[in-house]
Structure 1
Amino acid sequence: MIAGALVLSAAGCGSSSSDSGASGGMTTLTWWDYFGYSPQADNAVKSLIQKYQSGHANVKIVRTTVGFADFHTKLVQAAATGHFPDIAAIDNADVPVFAAQGALADMSKYLEAWPQKDQYLPAVLQSTKYNGKDYGIPFRSNTTALWYNQDAFTEAGITSAPATWEELRADAKKLTTPKHSGICFSAAPTDEGTFTFLPMLWQGGSDLPSLGDAGSVAALNYVKNLVAVDKSAPQSVLQWGQSDVGDQFGAGQCAMMFNGPWVLGSAKKGGFRFATAPWPAGPGGTASPLGGEVWAVSKNLKNPALAWDVLSWMADPKNSTDEIAGGLSSIPNRKDTVADKAWAWDAVVPTFASQMSSARARGTYGPNYAQISHAVTAMEQQVLAQGKDPQAAAAAAAAIVKPLLSGR
């Protein structure tokens, strides 16, 4: 079904939709996303499209859903063949990738003239940029935080969530029992592992351009202490993705975890009391990663103003709060939605909303982010699985990462 849908969508891209619009008839826009992963998310996007079309009878949006695991690859193929969809919801870290390939339309003039632009939080707005130009409009945003089992905390005599690295390490030790590990997170050799390690790097006072400095070594030692020294985190974290970690937390096998709001369903299955708290601060303070998507427009679309009309309409909270907040489990990413009760779709939302002010966009690392991410997880795996010295591992990773950053 996906393969067939992709052929139809590719045929509808580019000049065909533009020509029909120019003739004064029905204009067709092709749209790709990966939100078919659940009925709730799928219905939210369907609702957005239907609501727009009901007020714009001359526009037809042909939607194709692709599985998340295949989505990036399908977009790469589409970009290479000149059949990029008219509109695509892409991971914000992929904006520089497709912009550098020449697949995306420069939407700077539309975004700059849009009165609502300045409502977005700085990191969220930054996620649309590459080389100073805007290649889309922010869509859904999320981040990660600390989750903890309140019943396990009570049993261990812990009265509040840890606020610093030192407190987290001490609490994780206390919470490590025959029944459960003290802390769990993804340290897998995938971008899910990078998404978890980057905030630790930033909390250490470092960043990828300065990899190999004292802050990056401190971050590696921090995670090494949790996994290899104290054994508060199981070795399984080296293979676990974020959903695996969520499942383990919900099963009562982990007393704390670093994760996002997308594992709420797993947490609720446990039957125990749980809560969320901001990431514990390191020497460099607190920080969190910015996840989510940007709506991007194909460079081949001859009428980008029409795509902008669609996307700016959908980005306006008065048109889309129910779908983007509750339906897609988004965290408020605008100043005018942070305190909006309609966005508080669960009690965990305020914690994640508070982290958005310290969230950072991965797209700032440029079009080579995939290779950079691989080098970061390899560094972490070398320390945790192979016992490599953190200083040596950071220095080796820096030699790989720094040249890749030159394309920013």
Structure 2
Amino acid sequence: MRSKSILVVIILLVLSLPLTGALCKSQKSITSEPAALKVWLYDQDKKAFDDLVVDYQSDNSKVSFEFIEKSGDQATYEKELIDAIAAKNAPDIALIREDWVAKHYDKLTPLSPVEKQTADDLTKELRDVFVTAVGEKMIYDNKVYGLPLKMDTLALYYNANHFEEANLESAPKNWNEFVYDVKKLTKRDQFGNLTRSAAALGTSNNVDHSQDILYTLMIQNGTKIVSDDHKSATFNTSITKASGEIYYPGTNALDFYNSFASPAKETYTWNNSQPSSMRAFADGKVSMIFDYSYRQEEIYNLNPTFRFNIAPMPQIKDTSNPTTYPYFFSYAVTNNSAHSDVAWDFIKYLSRVSTSIKKDKAKEAYQNMDEGSAVFAGQPYIARTFYKSREPEQVDAIFQTVIKNVVAGQPLQAALDAASAEVTSILQVKG
């Protein structure tokens, strides 16, 4: 499941040294009065918290815990949480997805600065301590609304047998190599019909996380998806290069993504008639997909004997700004909590014993990154995201529609212009 591995990481790192500052400063005996905390876990085993609670209670004997396991689809979990908050029956602590902060900040209690610290000091501390994507998502209106313990990222999954058959010795490190590999791996029959695809790219209906892949390409290409004031979408606009050339980075990224599903392009390797990217990969019908770490279990369940490897997200050749896209949940305190200071102290304790997305540790993991599980340890250091409005699901749907419309024949710039107008409307109406 998506979040269960977080707990293993925490337990293994329980002896990590604490950081200093408001975010990770755990006070001994945070309260002299009894404080009962209710914690909602999403896709996590509450037994994994047993040792952590014992350790925390050694300094905070007045604090007790009730862990409640939640599962199911994310929309159902989100609705249950919001309904509980409205009914004044919410947990003290709950897991929230990274793009729910802007959507539900008014239902949460932010972390308070300590001593003489200002709000600016606190947000700076978070940005200094954690990898960049944490600050991009957990800070809203200059306040800190949650702390994650782990971060997932998009990476390249590839079929080891297919690569060996094509005499490809390693996974592509940049998009130039990726295009070369696509041409080598794609197979067609005598009529030019695809018999095996090289990569699941170009469409939206059968490519898992298609919008996240497009976001990654846009950010890698220097696209500012939303304006700094969060009032307008800018992914359809141009930039002027040092040479004076007018360039549309968002349009270029969309064109590249679409090229793998365009029969007129030499990179054509995927179309709407294919099964889902995950199913096709597990069945050996496609050589490469882009996905998150939690999908490994699903692949093994679909095909227990399948030989696949995981490599870092390809980058623009010779880039100085490597990027991939993140996905994570954070621990947050609901505004129903009567013990918000205690709840935040426990979250800071969890953060103290988990170092995987602290900037210094993530940088070290990134510098030593190879393939396999090391990819997901190192890539949080380069993860980047953007402000997705208070209606993130609507924004995702708009980008999925952009991809669909371009596949259907709509001109690239027209598709992005229409999408930009829709996202801008959401930003101006919803925020």
Higher deviation after alignment, 70-79 or 389-398: 70-79
Report the counterpart of residue 178 of structure 2 in structure 1: 168
What is the CA-CA distance between 1:25 and the residue it aligns to?
A: 5.8
Which segment drifts farther, 299-308 or 395-404?
299-308
Cα offset, 1:313, TM superposition:
1.1
Q: 2:155, 2:311 within 8 Å by CA — same for their partners in 1?
A: yes
Aligned to 1:104: 108
Deviations 1:295-344, CA, capped at 9 Å, x for gaps: 11012323321011211111112xx57xxxxxxxxxx3113433789xx9
Amino acid at match of 1:84: A
| 1:390 is the counterpart of 2:412 | yes
In 2, Cα distance between equivalents of 1:114 and 1:312: 15
Question: In the alignment, residue 66 of structure 1 is paired with which amino acid?
Answer: K
Distance 1:349 1:124, change over 3 A: farther
The structure 1 residue matched to 2:281, chosen from 241, 245, 249, is: 249
Determine if contact 2:147/2:331 at 8 Å carries over to the other structure: yes
SS at match of 1:181: strand
Partner of 1:233: 270
- Code of the aligned partner of 2:84: A
**Which structure is higher in helix share?**
1
Output one character per residue of 1:58-83: Cα deviation in whole Å (capped at 9) or x when no partner. 22222222224111222232344344
Shift of 1:172: 1.5
Partner of 2:397: 374
Q: Which residue of 2 aligns with 1:272?
A: 307
- Are the structure 2 counterparts of residues 194 and 339 from structure 1 closer, same or farther at C-alpha, using a change threshold of 3 Å? closer
Partner of 1:305: 341
- Give the TM-score taking structure 1 as reference length: 0.76
Residue of structure 1 equivalent to 2:38: 30
Shift, 1:282, TM fit: 7.2
Instruction: Give the CA deviation at 1:267.
Output: 4.8
SS in 1 for 2:325: strand
1:7-46 to 2 correspondences below 5 Å: 26-36=34-44, 43-45=47-49
The alpha carbon displacement at 1:266 in A equals 4.4
The residue aligned with 1:7 is: none
Which letter does structure 2 place at the counterpart of 1:357? Y
CA contact (8 A) 1:261 1:348 kept: no
2:357 aligned partner, one-letter code:
N
Paired residue for 1:16? none
CA–CA separation in structure 2 for the residues paired with 1:232 and 1:174:
11
**1:376–1:282: structure 2 CA closer, same or farther, 3 Å change rule?**
farther
State the partner residue of 2:96: 90
| In the alignment, structure 1 residue 353 sits paired with structure 2 residue 413 | no
Moved over 6 A (4+): 113-116
Q: Would you say how many aligned residue pairs link Structure 1 and Structure 2?
A: 361
How far 1:259 sits from its partner (Å)?
0.9
Which residue of structure 2 aligns with residue 182 of structure 1? 198
Amino acid at match of 2:312: A
**Aligned position for 2:230:** none
Give the distance between the partners of 1:66 and 1:177, measured in 2 at CA. Answer: 44
Q: Tell me which residue corresponds to 1:291.
A: 327
CA contact (8 A) 2:40 2:91 kept: yes
Give the % identical residues: 23
**One-letter amino acid of the counterpart of residue 166, structure 1:** N
Give the letter for the 1:181 counterpart: S
Alpha-carbon distance change, 340 to 35 in structure 1, aligned in 2, over 3 angstroms: farther
Partner in structure 2 of residue 71 of structure 1: 77
Displacement of 1:54: 6.3
Gaps of 5+ in 1: 1-21, 322-331
Task: Give secondary structure in 2 for the equivalent of 1:182.
Answer: strand
Aligned to 1:60: 64
Alignment counterpart, residue 337 of structure 1, candidates 361, 364, 374:
361
Find the counterpart in structure 2 of residue 153 from structure 1: 163
Kept after mapping to 2: 8 A contact 1:136/1:296: yes
Q: Secondary structure at the match of 1:140?
A: coil
User: 2:410 aligns to what SS in structure 1?
Assistant: coil
The structural deviation recorded for 1:23 is 11
Question: Displacement of 1:27 after TM fit?
Answer: 2.1
- After TM superposition, list the pairs within 5 Å mapping 1:204-215 onto structure 2: 204-209=221-226, 210-213=234-237, 214-215=248-249
RMSD: 3.5
2:31 and 2:342 in contact (8 A); partners too:
no
| CA apart distance, 1:291 | 1.0
Match of 1:196? 213
The residue that corresponds to 2:3 in the other structure is none
Which amino acid letter does the alignment assign opposite residue 235 of structure 1?
Answer: N
1:113/1:199 Cα in 2 relative to 1: closer, same or farther (>3 Å)? closer
The structural deviation recorded for 1:258 is 0.7
Partner of 2:241: none
Structure 2: tracts of 5 or more residues without a match: 1-29, 189-194, 227-233, 238-247
Is contact 2:310–2:373 with CA below 8 Å preserved after alignment?
no
SS at match of 1:295: strand
- Quote the offset at 1:191 in angstroms: 8.9
Task: Provide the C-alpha distance between the structure 2 equivalents of 1:247 and 1:189, rounded to a whole number of angstroms.
Answer: 10
Note if contact 2:309-2:372 (Cα within 8 Å) is conserved in structure 1. no
Instruction: Write the letter of the residue equivalent to 1:403.
Output: S
CA deviations on 1:190-217 (whole Å, 9 max, x unpaired) are 9933223210221232132222232121
Cα displacement (A) at 1:48: 4.0
